[in-house]
Amino acid sequence: MNLRLEALNLLRWIHFLAMSIGAGAAVVALLLSGFEEGREDLQGLAATIWAKVVSWSFRLAIVVGIVLLVVLIQNGTNPFKAGIYLHIKLTLVFILIGLSEMTPKALAAGRRGSALLVVVFFMAVTFTVFNKGMFRKEVPPTVPVPVAAATAVAAPAR
């Protein structure tokens, strides 16, 4: 484990924390929206939490992710050449951010569909990140099967 305080490691941690806080707050806001229906004292709480915590956490994660990408490219690593992993991740992330920006108004109106879709897209992004080996360009090398000298089939005796 690399515990040195480098810009790349610090950016990765900030990116991870911002996404984690945003996803956790999204689940909390989605749960709170279910409790708002019968109680007037909770009306608008889910939309407020979404607008203040979830949206800003996802915005911070996007900014830090872009800075992280720039730092990686400046260090000589081009993550776009490793396969389609980053293309899939960025597509899912931009859909997630677009839905996240529309969600406070929907929650204020009592609709929870976009909030649920944000949670689903977050899980899709997480799946893509943790399984990035599935999306790499090169095929992993195969292990050769050892061949023994006595593998010839003997002719049947007559």
Give the tokens for residue 14.
């900030």
Residue 122: inside a domain: yes
CA atoms of 141 and 3, how far apart (whole Å): 31
Structural domains counted in the chain: 1
> Long-range contacts for 93-100 (Cβ within 8 Å, ≥24 apart)?
93/62, 93/65, 93/125, 95/121, 96/58, 96/121, 96/122, 96/125, 97/58, 97/59, 97/62, 100/22, 100/26, 100/50, 100/54, 100/55, 100/58
Q: What percent of the chain has pLDDT over 90?
A: 37
Other C-beta atoms within 10 Å of 125: how many? 20
Residue 118: inside a domain: yes
Mean pLDDT for the stretch of residues 10-17: 92
Residue type, 136: R
DSSP code string of 65-86? HHHHHHHHHHTT--GGGGBSHH
User: So what's the pLDDT on residue 109?
Assistant: 85
Q: Which stretch of DSSP H or E encloses residue 61?
A: helix 55-74
Mean pLDDT for the stretch of residues 94-119: 89
Residue 11: inside a domain: yes
Residue 30: inside a domain: yes
Lowest mean pLDDT among 41-45, 89-93, 100-104, 127-131: 41-45
Residue 59: inside a domain: yes
Question: Which residues constitute the domain of residue 63?
Answer: 7-135
